[in-house]
Amino acid sequence: MESLLIGLMSGTSLDGVDAVLARVSDHDARVLAHASAPFPAALRTELLALNASGTDELHRASLAGNQLARIYAELVWELLSRCRLRPAEIAAIGAHGQTVRHRPLEFDASPDGRWPAVGYTIQLNNPSLLAELTGIDVVADFRSRDLAAGGQGAPLVPLFHRHWFGNAGADIAVLNIGGIANLSVLSANGEVLGFDCGPGNVLLDGWTSRHLGQAYDQDGAWGAGGTPDPALLETLLAEPFFRREPPKSTGRDLFNLPWLDRRSADFTHLKPVDVQATLVRLTAESCAHAVKAWAPECTRLIVCGGGALNTDLMTRLRASLPSAVELQGSQEWGLPPLQVEATAFAWLAWRTLRRETGSIAAVTGARGARVLGAIYPR
């Protein structure tokens, strides 16, 4: 049985929203249309600020969620109009929301050991408002159910990666380079491993914004003009997160400009462009290390996310990988890099409607796979 669903994704890089309309069935997920919208500058600034504690943040976060829902709704209506569909023809919208905090398995363990820590994960959204504005059921809050089961709550896309990419008859890996980079290892025997590697675009974009006043380094052109500093790279790679074994996940809670400032305090003599070149190397090296450590038999690495469009980053990633690993863009598998995660959340919403699990315990560390998300009726 086929269903039409819409997937919405706004990632840690804070560059805007991607939306897809997909036809989903037991055996396929086919994208019929894609739309995107950048965040207004004021909203992007507010979302970035909400990644840290601040004045009246509950009030501000609620209003930001309302604004996100309105942007989501506009994209939904754009897709419906383009495809000449009515809201009643769409089974559901899968809306991940905007992550502003991600601290799983921390803080709240009981002193007597009776209750393990759950921690929290916060994805801003107003799913009720989105359902009201579109007349379509909304599936949201995908991560919390996995946290409740003792998991990291992320990454959640490896199950979809297995569905879309995992029929190659060999060990392959899928690398999503958004604000944070995450790796899915798809073994030929059907087993799946997935985890966050470390920073993807988050430090690159932040450093570019600070020194060029631009949201990101177009095609990686600025970073390509710099010279990486080996000593700074070694200092950055000394971050303990890189040595942790999966399951693991991270976000702007760890990798942010204050983290970079602390780590680079002894390197203020470097030119900003050389720091940018070093940050490109940091993303490339940490991702390549993850592949070599956890996918040693991998023969193909498929790259998606905004980082796949950074020419310099892709060049440095290729140089950091073993020669036996073939580097491919997800578009070669029928799904452009900026559509993968939105399609994944359309597909995960479809599984939620069918009460099918959307997580993999071996990926998140949860006590078992769980049905993800909450349904907000139209």
Residues 194 and 329 in one domain: yes
Grade residue 1 by pLDDT with cuts at 50, 70 and 90: confident
pLDDT at 27 over 90: no
Grade residue 26 by pLDDT with cuts at 50, 70 and 90: confident
Q: What percent of the chain has pLDDT over 70?
A: 100
Residues 302 and 186 in one domain: yes
**Domain count along the chain:** 2
Residues 308 and 348 in one domain: no
pLDDT at 168 over 70: no
Is the Cβ–Cβ distance between 337 and 13 less than 8 Å? no
Q: How confident is the model over 330-348, as pLDDT tens digits?
A: 999 999 999 999 999 999 9
Q: What single string gives the DSSP state of each residue in 212-274?
A: HSSSS-GGGHHHHTS---HHHHHHHHT-GGGGPPSS----TTTSSHHHHHHHTGGGTTS-HHH
Hey, what are 156's tokens?
A: 């959640």
The CA R_g of the chain, rounded to the nearest whole Å, is 20
Domain that holds residue 88: 3-154+338-376
| Extended beta strands in the chain, E state | 3-9, 17-24, 29-37, 92-95, 98-104, 119-124, 138-140, 172-177, 180-186, 192-199, 300-304, 326-329, 374-376
Q: How many CB atoms lie within 10 A of CB 321?
A: 18
Q: How confident is the model over 255-288, as pLDDT tens digits?
A: 999 999 999 999 999 999 999 999 999 999 999 9
- CATH value at residue 60: 3.30.420.40
Residues 254 and 196 in one domain: yes
Grade residue 167 by pLDDT with cuts at 50, 70 and 90: confident
Angle at 48 between CA 33 and CA 344, to 5 degrees: 30
Residues 165 and 148 in one domain: no
Distance CA 186, CA 332 (A): 17
Q: Once rounded to an integer, what is the mean pLDDT over residues 125-154?
A: 98
Distance CA 153, CA 168 (A): 27
Distance in Å from the first CA to the final CA of the chain: 22
Residues 172 and 142 in one domain: no
Give the list of residues 6+ apart from residue 184 with CB closer than 8 angstroms, or none: 155, 157, 158, 161, 162, 173, 174, 175, 176, 192, 193, 194, 363
Helix, strand or coil, per DSSP, at residue 16: coil
Helix (H), strand (E) at residue 324: none
Residues 144 and 211 in one domain: no
Closest CA to 145 of 376, 373, 305: 373
Tracing tokens 């690398």 back to the chain, one arrives at 175
Residues 81 and 172 in one domain: no
Residues 23 and 52 in one domain: yes
Residues 109 and 145 in one domain: yes
Q: How confident is the model over 299-324, as pLDDT tens digits?
A: 999 999 999 999 999 999 999 999 99
pLDDT, position 158: 97
Q: How confident is the model over 175-217, as pLDDT tens digits?
A: 999 999 999 999 999 999 999 999 999 999 999 999 999 999 9
Residues 113 and 94 in one domain: yes
pLDDT, position 40: 96
Tracing tokens 């440095």 back to the chain, one arrives at 316
Q: How confident is the model over 81-97, as pLDDT tens digits?
A: 999 999 999 999 999 99
Contacts 24+ apart (CB under 8 A), 38-42: 39/10, 39/14, 39/15, 39/71
Q: What is the pTM of this model?
A: 0.96
Residues 71 and 149 in one domain: yes
The 8-class DSSP code of residue 38 comes to P
Q: How confident is the model over 219-234, as pLDDT tens digits?
A: 999 999 999 999 999 9
Q: Once rounded to an integer, what is the mean pLDDT over residues 15-29?
A: 94
